[in-house]
Structure 1
Amino acid sequence: MRPSSLLVAVATGGLVSAAPSPAQPRTAKGDVNPFQGKTQFVNPTWAAKLDQTLRAFLWKGDLLNTFKTYKVQQTSSFVWVSKIADLPNIDAAIAAARKAQKWTGKKQIVGLVLYDLPDRDCSAGESAGELKSAENGLERYKKEFIKPYAEKLAAAKDLTFAVVLEPDSLGNLVTNMGIELCAKAADTYRAGIAHAIASLQYDHVNLYIDAAHGGWLGWDGNLPLAAKEFATVVKMAGEGKKVRGFVTNVSNYNPFNAAVRENYTEWSNSWDESHYATSLAPHLQAEGLPAHFIVDQGRVHLPGARKEWGEWCNVQPAGFGPAPTTNTNNTVVDALVWVKPGGESDGQCGMTGAPRAGEWFDEYAQMLVKNADPSVFKLF
């Protein structure tokens, strides 16, 4: 979400680096794309929030955007589990996915976000969490959050899961160690994510480590540093412990395939998320990691909306991005997904009247609907 961008790239080795020679990748299920042949889960809890948006358009007599909102409500999105009290969100998702699987006869893949590290969001604080390292946070994370999280998924072998691990965390360890809280949290971040990986080793669970986005870690000088950081954590999880791959652009606004190359991307080979995945892939393989990605396209900025990559909060104008799909035209990308539930605020920043992070921001949701990618409205 928050890049250190060009300054970090220059400080860590310049803007040009040769791609490394790949080593044998460590994968969870070989090259089998877990999204292929499955229906991405439509979260009814998020869809219900959009009822407010739908009513707002109806009240204005705007039938076109009323219809658009209805179609958005039928689009898959990930379920966030961001604190201990959110663990029942998993139960609700499992029950809804089982119902959908029974009614449609189509296998469901349920997207979940695992997001409760101690000292979370160390570089900004807009999404700071409930646990603190200095207050036995790591042990609470393991026992009160990861243990029940894993138990719930273990008991749902009739479903497939894609789990996003701790957005922003390892990205901060690559570029923001000059921030005191990030430096102090580093060991906790690594130990916590490694424990989550080790605890979620089930055949029906596919783990995707957060790899920030192209504007943050996609600079040539940052790519090898990021891959080494990821490899360190996976090795800490233990011998034989595996992940499926990595997730990019969580809660950010970068396009997968940019129609217009923004001026601030001039010095980067990772100028959209497809190019970022392609740029990072050989560095991951060199570390023995799997080069598989999912990319969040829940929200995408319109051309010219940002003056720099560092603008991450309630960016405007923006719209709902391309509909979730496995047709990515990039061999290292498993799927386009909607991880960030559009309409939930990034924080009290970026747009007048924005509420705290995670709270519903209907004015913003209406903008996302109006500017949504046309693929969302194709007939099923």
Structure 2
Amino acid sequence: MTTPPTPGIPQESRAPVDDLDYRNAPGTRIHLRARQRSADATVWGRLALHLPGFLTSLLVVAGAGMLLEAWLGPPAWLPASLWLCSGALVFHRPSERFLARHFFGLQHPLPAELATLAPVWREVTARAGIDGARYELWIEESDGLNALAAAGHIVAVTRRALEQLPTGQLAAVLAHELGHHTRGHTWSGLLTWWYALPGRLAWRGLAAGTVRLVRVTSGFSYPVAVVLVLLLGWLAFATLTATYGLPLLLLALPYLTAAVGRRAELRADAHAAVLGFGPMLAQVLHGVLAEEAKGGADGTGRLSRLLASHPDHRTRLHHLQRHLRQTPGTPQGGHPLG
């Protein structure tokens, strides 16, 4: 099967479309799942890990509300209530579009780009039994072979991935991102970041203020600075004693959160493999590995790997092998993978 040239995308950079078996062309009856979204173990793990941060942020916002009430008069519960309700903006389409443009730096696909992207997305979502019209496709101006899923309905691919990946591999990348959405990784990740933000900002402000205070006092008198440091140390020790050392768990939080994020990536890979895109996804990972080897990319250190939100490509390929060895079955959408 040949493909006519698409305006706006160089023909020599586009792969043929005959590497993907389109079984769900427009007009084909598609069986949609009754439950379009779920929440897997990584979602509940992420929410549990961020519960202390959420409670800290709630205290910060509540304290700000009491100060606001004392100064200006509005009820103290109003800021906390508005902040709690603001999480719903994750699924608010205009808010998502604002995030896509101004936070993630994404762009709407041009008609020629959408003509290439939309049929692949339709095939991926049809195999999964998902209503693809619920999601919005975006383009990221990047020279990396990458894609992202965010908020409640954002799915984006880089321009290089759109122009250079064969459609089967592009479908595998999109199936991976769809897995993030249907398993709840995107909304839980954004919500935990948002609800932990006030506490994180307050902690950074307190730390910066403490350092500045110590520097200022040391400029006047070193004994005063020493007394201040000892006082702060005593307060920290008293806090740890009163809370049975629970704040020390916050030191491990970045590592635990990164571990949960890596597990979520592997689950999204499994989602793509179950839909029949495992071999294509493996080809994408092998291609990225070849580029890294050609560019002489150095391996990251142990600490960097522990803090990485994504597993390395060799680990992802290792976990994909068990799905590649399995006999393809019938996805939840009702279409055989064959």
TM tier relative to shorter chain: under 0.3
TM-score, normalization: structure 2?
0.25
Structure number with higher strand proportion: 1
